[in-house]
Amino acid sequence: MIEISELYKYYGQRRAVGPISLAIADGEVIGLLGRNGAGKTTTLRILACDLLASSGTVKVAGYDAVESADSVRANIGYLPDTPPLYGEMRVREYLGYAARLRGVSGKDLELRLNDVLAQTGLVAVAGDPIASLSHGFKQRVGIAQAIVHRPKLVILDEPISGLDPAQIKEMRGLIRGLAGQHTVIVSSHILSEISETCDRIFIIRDGEIIASGSEQELTAEADTGDRLQLTIRPDGDLSDLAALRSLLEATDGVSDVVIEESTSGEWQVKLKTATDRRALICQRVVEAGGGLLAIVRIARELESVFLELTDARVGVLSEPGDSGEEASA
Amino acid sequence: MRVALLIARREASSYFRSPIGAVVLSGALLVIGILFYWKGLTEKLLSSEVLSEFFYSSSGVVMVASLFLSMRLVAEERQTGTLTLLNTAPVTDAQIVAGKFLAAFGMVATLTALTVYMPLLIFVNGKVSLGHIAVGYGGLLLIGAACVAIGLFASALTESQVVAVVVSGGIIAALILQWILAKAVDPPFDSFLVNLAFHHTNFRPFQQGILELQGVAYYLAVAFLFLLGATKVLEARRWK
């Protein structure tokens, strides 16, 4: 469906994207994951023929994005990060306009309008002015205009941005529902959005694809070394935090030590080791008189892979609850 | 052409869903009416002179109205992000420009059509040639088309409607003032500049009911040039 070869985009002297080379098969749901400014939107705009690349080739459904731009445009539906909506138009009227622009007409138009309104849950607001809709409904209208002409490729740039949790859940279902009928590319800096809706993920940093694969493949690929979580009771030579920290950091192969004091007076320690150092760590803590209550391996999550790959926070293993904030920071 | 008309229809309907269409049309009609009363009905002029004065004052109002109607055409779409819908649909830049031009020109044509009752009032106490009326209105439409094209070009250059109207106003002012500039240069450049004058040289024959091919060609050429410019600006924006 998509073949990108040696794609570069420069803004003046600054390289925004490139080199990017990738291939995406029919029917895949692809996630493009990267921090703000990583080059996601620029890449998608080039794919959608909204922007011309500085060099390289992009082929969609066999058509070159420069030489046969109109054929490419006829095969894509694009939702930019700001949905292109005319506030004064009514939902059905707007979708009709978007469909006619893509060459849909006659009886087919009515059928497709009815289908897309039902598919995106917009039937109840079909006659409402777009300006009067909530943010969630506006996003739905944005997706509806991208699929009303049944394109082969649907490109969604940050479709979940700004939605509340209930709307996010609905939007995920909607995006998953597009799988099979369309090839879908979703960009986001929100990890949970990508991991729950996509078959394959491309991680982009500084305009380059630095990793790709399924969630499991990415996690396994980046999983070098162990992440350990220890529960220690202050005692003996380890009665203060500084002593514990210096003991752990002096242990060969240990890095990224993070210590938090729990309400029960115990210390929760998270750290990273190059190889299996559990026995050594246990021995040193016990020899220093500390009360070692527990030591467990932490399963790697996509978020920590993402943060490491994109040079995010070093030395802090993320908590499940703060993934969105970390990623969008 | 089908796509251009589709874009024109949406654009035209948006004029009437926002205050801009009603404000510009009603404001322009009010000013034209006041000027017609002031120049035509309070001074002792021949009927043909009244008609000539009507076309003279109307041309100024049509020029200003054209700029206000065209300032939003691309600038607003770029500002709100809706231009992306057109840029990512199988629509050429020329079709986008054509659709937007047709919508704004349709508004200018509506404005001029709504002034028809004023020349007809001259028939109450006088007599004028229908040919004079037809040629004068032809001139108004041509100067309106040229102004809309200039406004559309300026609108394609920027996201700001204010900047667009200032730029287009500057272009028209520069074209109008060519005849003054002509006085400061030696032959043969003076006649060249005089012939480029937007209003002084090229509209005056229309105003007097004289159909001159030079004026028709001039306004069509200006409209074509700036529409082509707007198309090229849209094409160039795809690199940014």
> What's residue A265's pLDDT?
82
Residue of chain A whose Cα is closest to the Cα of B76 = A86
Average pLDDT, chain A: 83
Cis geometry, peptide bond prior to residue A19 (ω within 30 degrees of 0): yes
Q: How many CB atoms lie within 10 A of CB A237?
A: 13
User: Which amino acid makes up residue A326?
Assistant: E
Cis before B205? omega within 30? no
Query: Dihedral through CA A18, CA A24, CA A29, CA A30, nearest 10?
Result: -20
CA distance A65 to A62: 9
Contacts of B83 in chain A (CB under 8 A): 84
Phi-psi category of residue B18: left, alpha or beta, with phi > 0 → left and psi -120 to 50 → alpha: beta
Q: Which of A58, A71, A82, A86 to mutate to test the interface with B (most CBs of B within 10 A)?
A: A86
- pLDDT tens, position by position, B203-217: 999 999 899 899 999
Which chain A residues are Cβ-neighbours of B88 within 8 angstroms?
Answer: 48-50, 73, 76, 78
Instruction: State whether residue B73 sits within 8 Å of chain A by CB.
Output: no
Q: Do B82 and A84 touch (CB under 8 A)?
A: yes
Q: What is the 3-state secondary structure (H, E, C) of A101-152?
A: HCCCCHHHHHHHHHHHHHHCCCHHHCCCEHHHCCHHHHHHHHHHHHHCCCCC
Q: Do A98 and B89 touch (CB under 8 A)?
A: yes
**Nearest Cα to B194, choosing from B221, B175, B166, B169?**
B175
ipTM: 0.86
Contact criterion met (CB below 8 Å) for A288 and A230: no
Type of residue at B130: L
Residue A329: its pLDDT value, please?
30
Note whether B238 contacts A51, CB cutoff 8 Å: yes
Q: From CA B100, how far away is CA A289, in angstroms rounded?
A: 81
- A179: which DSSP letter? B
Task: Please say whether the beta carbons of A197 and A189 come within 8 A.
Answer: no
Q: Which residues in A lie closer than 8 A to residue B17 (C-beta atoms)?
A: 88
Task: Mark A2-36 as b/e (b = at least 16 C-beta within 10 Å).
Answer: bebeebbbeeeeebbbbebebebeeebbbbbbbbe
CB < 8 Å to A48, chain B = 88
DSSP B36: I
* Segment B215-237, tens digit of pLDDT: 999 999 999 999 999 999 999 98
Helix (H, G, I), strand (E, B) or coil at A211: strand
Q: Which residue of A has its CA nearest to B16?
A: A88
Average pLDDT of the segment spanning B171-176 = 92
Query: In sequence order, what are the residues at sequence separation of 6 or more whose Cβ sits closer than 8 angstroms to the Cβ of residue B2?
Result: none
A9 at B interface, C-beta within 8 A: no
Residue A85 forms contact with B (CB below 8 Å): yes
Mean pLDDT calculated for residue range B167-193: 86
Contact B89 A101 (CB under 8 A): yes
B236 touches chain A (CB under 8 A): no
Cβ–Cβ below 8 Å for A52 and B238: yes
Tokens of A262: 């729990």
Measured at the CA of A220, the angle between CA A256 and CA A8, to 5 degrees, comes to: 90
List beta partners, residue A3.
A23, A59
Distance of CA A179 to the CA centre of its chain: 17
- Nearest residue in chain A measured CA to CA from B90: A70
Residues A53, A206: contact at Cβ < 8 Å? no
Contact B85 A98 (CB under 8 A): yes
Residue A137 CA to residue A143 CA, distance in Å, equals 10
Q: How confident is the model over A285-299, as pLDDT tens digits?
A: 888 888 888 888 776
- Residue pair A269/A259 in contact (Cβ under 8 Å)? The answer is yes
Rounded Cα distance, B53 and B136, in Å: 11
What is the SS3 assignment for A16?
A: strand
pLDDT digits 0-9 by tens, B132-151:
999 999 999 999 999 999 99
Whose structure tokens read 């979580």? A229
Contact between chains at A103 and B90 (C-beta distance less than 8 A): yes
**Is the pLDDT assigned to residue A58 strictly greater than 80?**
yes
* Range of lowest pLDDT (A80-94, A100-114, A165-179): A165-179
Choice between A104 and B194, residue whose per-residue pLDDT is larger: A104
How many Å apart are CA B119 and CA B124, to the nearest integer? Answer: 10
Q: Angle B130-157/B161-176 helices, nearest 10 degrees? A: 130
pLDDT at residue number B96 = 96
Chain B nearest-CA residue for A81: B81
The residue in chain A having the minimum alpha-carbon distance to the alpha carbon of residue B18 is: A88
Separation CA B36–CA B45 (nearest Å)? 12
A233's tokens: 């009771």
Per-residue model confidence (pLDDT) at position A300: 61
Helix (H, G, I), strand (E, B) or coil at A227: strand
